[in-house]
Structure 1
Amino acid sequence: MKVLLSWLRDFVPIDMPATELASKLSLAGQAVDTVEPLAGDAQRQAGAVGPRPGASKSGARGVAALGPAPCNDALLDLDLTSNRPDCLSHYGLAREIAAITGQPLTPLEDDEQRSAGLGHRGPQAGASISGTRGEAALGPAPIIEAPEACGIYCALRLENVHVCPAPEPVTARLQSLGQRSINNIADATNYTLWEMGHPTHAFDYDTLEGGEIRVRWARPGETLTTLDGVTRTLSSEDLVIADRNRPIALAGIMGGLDSSITPKTKRVLLEAAWFDPLTVRKTARRHGLHTEASHRFERGADPQAPTLAAERIACLLGDAVAPNSEGIRTALGNLPQRPTIRLRPAQITRILGKSIEAAECQRLLLALGCELVSSNEDVGAADRREARGEALAKGGASRWLAPSWRPDLTREIDLIEELARLHGYDRFPSRLPKFQGMPQPLPEAALRDRVRQQLRGRGFAEAISLSFASEAECRAFAPDRQPVRVTNPLSEEAAILRTSSFPSMLRLLQYNAHRGNNARLYEIGKLYELGPDGKPRERHILTLGACDAALDRRSFRGEIEAVLAAFALPAPAAEGTVRFQRLHAEAAAKWKLPESTWLAELDLAACYAAGPRPIHFTPPPRFPASDRDFSFLFADAITWRQVEDALTNPPIPLLISLAPAEVFRGGKLPPGHYSLLLRARFQSPDRTLRDDEVQSASAEITARLHSLGGQQR
């Protein structure tokens, strides 16, 4: 929203540069995107309007003399949040500036200030803006047939209206904000909109059938040609303004073309009302309309502003309206109630982390427009004046009535947020939050970190996927698990919570395989299923996936055993916790993956429950070790477990470790065989080994490998 600095000065003294004001507003939550200085004619035309001493009045009716142009004018472009409709006007933003800076705010109800705006001389003889004339002369009052959607409707009939161009100061201000000038009637309603933020509308009274004005729900099939020239078919959910027989406007959105103001208009009916935000929002979206009026009504206009808005327009029109204009007729529906909010000083300190002086709290709340109801629950109306000065000073709870223009203030936390915002976030000290108590150990998190470290070191990358899956995919991999269904799924592909992590892992592998990547992935996540009692259960799992031609069953099993080693699980506890398989040829063709695709699922809950085996400390060796390599050719039927058992049962003296250093297939090796390079380490805890001792232990290793059918290379 754009605002003029000179217009803001009509309501609040501003003695700082526009850039400094923009900074203060941004720090208080009203972000200012740009500040555009105005110079020359633009600055002069957008300046304040009012009678200048010694200046003669223009001969045209309804035209005011141009006042002196202010200096240092600027155009501020604000990015307001949807919960602050009160700032969608110059007066609303001026009220915010007054609360931030502590400057006095000129009340919008000040007749002298308002009349000075466009040179209005005040009510003349026989005129009655307040509606004090006899009822018989006023004509029919507006009728609200939908009180749940219209809280108040004010109608002001103006007689012998002279439609002409608006004064230059008015058109200049509107054009500076991007609003085109139409005529003095339309410009007066737009000027009021930008000044005080309440939408109004003007009808040609002579076009209204029966001279009636009604607020009702549209009848199915009714049509209305709006001001944009589009004929719209209405539904029973559209709120309309109607005369005796037909709709003449979409309530709170746009008027009708047939009842619009023309140069021949002589009698005008001014509308100022409050409409339900939800009703306006739904109708606007249904018809694809977004206007300045609907923008404000959707967010919540001030329900107490319609009467003042109608009076303001009458003052703006001034000499363009004959002195026999009638008074305001008002009809009431269901108006929203202003909430009373209890505020406790102790809660302010607890939420903000610092105390704010009682006088400062009271000043800020009063500046916002809140009214003090009582300092405790039994304070009567006669004691409110005394309570106003002592409510917060005594440190007790107080009750505040939220202003009608702030629909976002409904709870105690809302008032506390306002106090923090206006007090200044930059005035709160920066410090770390206090923590009391002993940190609790998280052994499961430590184990997960250990697994991540182990897998990263072995070339696996971590993946994260969604927990939603299609039922068909999960049944293919976990047919025995009962799925947990999603109440409102986004699609059939996300109809259940996954019972198997294999489908999501396959999608990730497929994505990498189609881009030529031999991916090795892992994911730590959850599976969901219905338990025997029909209630959902979740399990923590680790999923491994690999799409690599260099992997076979033994090497992939070795990756899994490396994970189990990271948990330091006892060997019996590891049984039954792992499920791994090679992707079947049919499934590989369906997923467009190579057959060398491997999947594994590790039940982390079982690993957590088993717990790591006790860690025994072994002191660093005092004497050097001797390493020996052994290269043997084995048939594919001989597994690493057989080799390891043959060399460790019974133990070979002085042998402290044994590990496969390399496995090779192909080349000149005979089919069905592989070459295994073993690395053995020999060491004594109390002396340095002699060569003959190492040779003797090596000969024992060679003999045992020969007994397995191995051929030394």
Structure 2
Amino acid sequence: MNIITPWLRSYVPNIPVDDHQLAEDLTLRGIAVEGIHSLAPNSGHLFEMDITTNRVDAMNHYGIAREAATIYNLPLAPFNIKLPIGTLVDEPFSVTIAPEAKGLCGRFTVQVIRNVTIAPSAGEVKTYFEALNQKLISNAVDASNFVLLGMGHPTHAFDLDKIEGGILVRLAHKGEKLKLLDGTERTLEADDLVVADHKKALALAGVMGGWDSMITPETKNILIEAAWFDQASVRRSSRRHGLHTDASHRFERGADFNAAPIANALVAQLILQHGGAEGQLNGKLEGELIDLIDPEVAARTATRPPIDLSVKQVQRHLGTTLTPEGITSEIVAQYLTSLGCELLLHGLRDDLAVYSTRLPSWRLDLEREIDLIEEVARVYGYNRFANTLPAPGVVIAQPTQAKEAAVRTRLLALGFSEAVSSTFAGQSDADLFYQPANLGAPYLDSEMWASSERRPHSSSPQATVPMENPLSEEASLLRPSLIPGMVTMLAHNLNRDVKEVRLFEQGQIFTGTIPADSTFISEVHETAQLSLGLTTASPQPTAPLQIAADAPFFELKGVIESLLSLFTLPGGPHAAIFTPEVPAWLQPGRSATALLNNRPIAYFGELIHTQKETRKLRQPLYLAQIDLAALYNLPLKKVTAHDLSRYQAVERDFSFVFADTVQWQAVSAAIHALAIPELQSLKPIEVWRDAKKYPGVYSLLLRTVFQSNDRTLREDELTDFWTRIIAALTALGGTIRDGANETSK
């Protein structure tokens, strides 16, 4: 947004620095000035500002002036509102907030002005607008825009004679039509909040006014509206109808509940002052300001409970300053009072003040003591703190630090690069990638995943966590899975012609608990997870039994097995088994689930083809989601080293025919269950299948290696080993393949 210094300095006349130093001082306090442009000679400068989304109070000249007054310890000029007494009326203008709009419209103010002359704006409105390159329309419309740029609260002026019956703030009727000021006609939904009269909708609340009640050169009587609308309601309507206006930008981020009557009065004052005959007012006020207030909304915005602030805590958190006196109780009180807080001495702690701090209505971003401490640090200036190292013992390693380091080191060694994605996700991604029971919960089969009735929804005991004030629909939730972020990062690389990508991310996912007697989340849970992402344009087999197209899947499987090998698994190193049932975001037949104690520890495989087409991906993506929380509950395996054997190793091949239902895990587990200490290696060499000639079976050639650390193995020992292995495989239903050529070396 743009700010001009003449307007800014009108609120703080005695700023002791020039505009360039002012811009630097504001930037150091988090109110960033990204560009400075000279206006007409000796007319000041225009600041290009970058205001963060949580500081809606600073998205106007008065808000920036408040920051300047705080920095330089100067008084901030109050709004000079001088309105004449309105003419008496027998019955006030009718204004009603419908019951279904309760909570969505927390405050609604109305002022009627009659006998107005619509004319071009003059005076400071014209001067400031020309400096800002702001379009001038008419005195009534410009007054509303002037107040928005000046003190930050949206208002709207209606042609009173086009309002039938009175004002009714209500929800729209589904399918109701409304022509807006931009000339477009919108079809409204049932949850769109509108300002209406007794017959029709007049405006999309908090977003844009309507065409049929707009101010025209023929307008004689005006109704000025200034209100407080719910953030989520405005955002929903704004996104649905593709409208982003100056008003919606502010309402979506949390407007000042107490600003509505002030803004209304300022607009009325400007209209009365501009357009009338010389020395006369432009119209007459009718009646007093009508001000409807919802006490529940007021309680959670303008009259929030005070926060206790200890100066001792301020000093502890902020540390040593470059000045000897440091941050004193007086400095804390000065800064916070100037920012709009009301401080009451609540007591002493170590001879330092403890204040009960009442928060200003325009700072909804202040919620805790640490927020106030941050404000003190910001205004004091981060550049005025000494560079110091933490005291011994202050930094404490987390219990999982060694395990995180082990996982990170192993993945880096396997050729993966660490990445960090957004902590937020959209609803569509959450619907696809969020497991209702989460990893580590009882296993869900593919039929359960395929049923839409089993998918997560808002009434689930473990629900997704919506943001109170999201930046966009694509970032409306705290992420319930790392997979959407991983998909985005892989797609980002592919779209820039990076075709070989291997990424991993260790991070937290978020879910919420909804009590049985409530529809709101009572507690938010964080769970550690790991996501892996792999894509390649030219997959290369890494084992003799692989085909090129399957290589990425088996690479992911190998990575998961390698990570599991870092931990002492319950049931031994081969406790993990793999099953083909997978969640809905993985392609059936090209994905699997790793189970540990019959509970999912990881899902992995190829992203489902429909998502590849929807996201216009140039090549397949292979993804894995691993439950780090469950993995970190296991102890790290202690690394041990053994001397290499000096005695000869003996290889023996076994060729068996098995039913298709017998998986490799069963074969491996059966052989390892024999507990032959001399068995050093077991691996499949060849799988052969002829579905037409030998349906339902396959042939497996596996190789074993035996070796002792203290002797040369005798023939009778080897014969015993081989006999036991043949018996174990036969017990699985296997038969020795006819004509098998078994050799030993």
TM-score by length of 2: 0.57
Structure 2 counterpart of 1:328? 289
**Structure 1 residues 428, 504: closer, same or farther in 2, change over 3 A?**
closer
**Structure 1 residues 79, 436: closer, same or farther in 2, change over 3 A?**
same
Shift of 1:288: 1.3
Structure 2 counterpart of 1:24? 25
Q: Pairwise mapping of residues 154-165 of structure 1 onto structure 2 (< 5 A)?
A: 154-165=109-120
Shift of 1:511: 3.5
Count of matched residue positions in the alignment of Structure 1 and Structure 2 = 494
Is contact 1:156-1:270 (8 Å) kept? yes
Provide the aligned C-alpha RMSD in A.
5.0
Structure 2 counterpart of 1:358? 329
Residue identity matched to 1:180: K
Shift of 1:359: 0.3
Residue identity matched to 1:336: A
Structure 2 counterpart of 1:91? 62
Structure 2 counterpart of 1:617? none
Q: Deviations over 1:230-266 (max 9, x none)?
A: 1111222111111111110111111110000111111
Q: Pairwise mapping of residues 540-689 of structure 1 onto structure 2 (< 5 A)?
A: 580-581=683-684, 584=687
**Structure 1 residues 415, 452: closer, same or farther in 2, change over 3 A?**
closer
Q: Pairwise mapping of residues 232-271 of structure 1 onto structure 2 (< 5 A)?
A: 232-271=186-225
Shift of 1:85: 0.7
Is contact 2:125-2:142 (8 Å) kept? yes
Look up the SS of the partner of 2:116 in the other structure.
coil
**Structure 1 residues 363, 462: closer, same or farther in 2, change over 3 A?**
closer
Look up the SS of the partner of 2:356 in the other structure.
strand
Is contact 2:205-2:234 (8 Å) kept? yes
Is contact 1:362-1:392 (8 Å) kept? no
Matched, 1:432 2:389: yes
Cα distance in 1 between the residues matched to 2:374 and 2:142 = 37
Cα distance in 1 between the residues matched to 2:533 and 2:154 = 56
Is contact 1:85-1:299 (8 Å) kept? yes
TM-score by length of 1: 0.59
Is contact 2:650-2:707 (8 Å) kept? no
Q: Deviations over 1:254-302 (max 9, x none)?
A: 1110000111111111111111112111111121111001111111111
Cα distance in 2 between the residues matched to 1:189 and 1:443 = 56
Matched, 1:525 2:578: no
Structure 2 counterpart of 1:35? 36
Structure 1 counterpart of 2:168? 214
Structure 1 counterpart of 2:730? none
Is contact 1:463-1:522 (8 Å) kept? no
Cα distance in 2 between the residues matched to 1:407 and 1:541 = 45
Shift of 1:408: 0.8
Matched, 1:408 2:365: yes
Cα distance in 2 between the residues matched to 1:201 and 1:83 = 24
Q: Pairwise mapping of residues 112-511 of structure 1 onto structure 2 (< 5 A)?
A: 123=83, 127-128=84-85, 133-136=87-90, 139-145=92-98, 146-167=101-122, 169-210=124-165, 212-317=166-271, 318-320=273-275, 321-322=281-282, 324-326=284-286, 327-334=288-295, 335-337=297-299, 338-339=303-304, 340-354=306-320, 356-376=327-347, 394-436=351-393, 461=415, 511=539
Cα distance in 1 between the residues matched to 2:404 and 2:183 = 69
Cα distance in 1 between the residues matched to 2:344 and 2:183 = 50
Look up the SS of the partner of 1:189 in the other structure.
helix
Cα distance in 1 between the residues matched to 2:411 and 2:175 = 70
Cα distance in 2 between the residues matched to 1:505 and 1:282 = 33
Cα distance in 2 between the residues matched to 1:285 and 1:352 = 40
Structure 2 residue aligned with 1:102, among 61, 64, 73? Answer: 73
Cα distance in 2 between the residues matched to 1:350 and 1:301 = 33
Is contact 2:171-2:192 (8 Å) kept? yes
Structure 2 counterpart of 1:681? none
Cα distance in 2 between the residues matched to 1:205 and 1:455 = 69
Cα distance in 1 between the residues matched to 2:40 and 2:10 = 19
Look up the SS of the partner of 2:74 in the other structure.
coil
Look up the SS of the partner of 2:47 in the other structure.
strand
Structure 1 counterpart of 2:426? none
Residue identity matched to 1:189: S
Structure 1 counterpart of 2:11? 11
Shift of 1:416: 1.0
Shift of 1:20: 2.1
**Structure 1 residues 243, 392: closer, same or farther in 2, change over 3 A?**
farther
Q: Deviations over 1:409-456 (max 9, x none)?
A: 121111111111111111111111122399999999599879979997
Residue identity matched to 2:18: P
Is contact 1:248-1:258 (8 Å) kept? yes
Is contact 2:62-2:151 (8 Å) kept? yes
**Structure 1 residues 444, 252: closer, same or farther in 2, change over 3 A?**
closer
Shift of 1:392: 8.7
**Structure 1 residues 465, 436: closer, same or farther in 2, change over 3 A?**
closer
Q: Deviations over 1:366-424 (max 9, x none)?
A: 01100124525xxxxxxxxxxxxxx7995242211100111111211111111111111
Look up the SS of the partner of 1:308 in the other structure.
helix
Cα distance in 2 between the residues matched to 1:441 and 1:301 = 40
Is contact 1:159-1:267 (8 Å) kept? yes
Shift of 1:181: 1.2
**Structure 1 residues 168, 464: closer, same or farther in 2, change over 3 A?**
closer
**Structure 1 residues 314, 443: closer, same or farther in 2, change over 3 A?**
closer
Structure 1 counterpart of 2:278? none
**Structure 1 residues 577, 222: closer, same or farther in 2, change over 3 A?**
farther
Shift of 1:84: 0.7
Cα distance in 1 between the residues matched to 2:28 and 2:707 = 69
Cα distance in 1 between the residues matched to 2:261 and 2:402 = 64
Cα distance in 2 between the residues matched to 1:541 and 1:289 = 54
Residue identity matched to 1:331: L
Cα distance in 1 between the residues matched to 2:250 and 2:408 = 56
Residue identity matched to 1:34: G
Is contact 1:96-1:368 (8 Å) kept? yes
**Structure 1 residues 512, 222: closer, same or farther in 2, change over 3 A?**
same
Residue identity matched to 1:364: Y
Structure 2 counterpart of 1:563? none
Residue identity matched to 2:307: I
**Structure 1 residues 149, 461: closer, same or farther in 2, change over 3 A?**
closer
Calculate percent identity across the aligned residue pairs.
Answer: 34
Name structure 1 gaps, 5 residues minimum: 41-69, 112-121, 377-390, 467-480, 496-502, 543-552, 556-571, 588-598, 600-635, 648-671, 673-707
**Structure 1 residues 465, 407: closer, same or farther in 2, change over 3 A?**
closer
Cα distance in 2 between the residues matched to 1:142 and 1:442 = 60
Cα distance in 2 between the residues matched to 1:22 and 1:449 = 47
Is contact 1:186-1:202 (8 Å) kept? yes
Shift of 1:574: 8.4
Look up the SS of the partner of 2:110 in the other structure.
strand
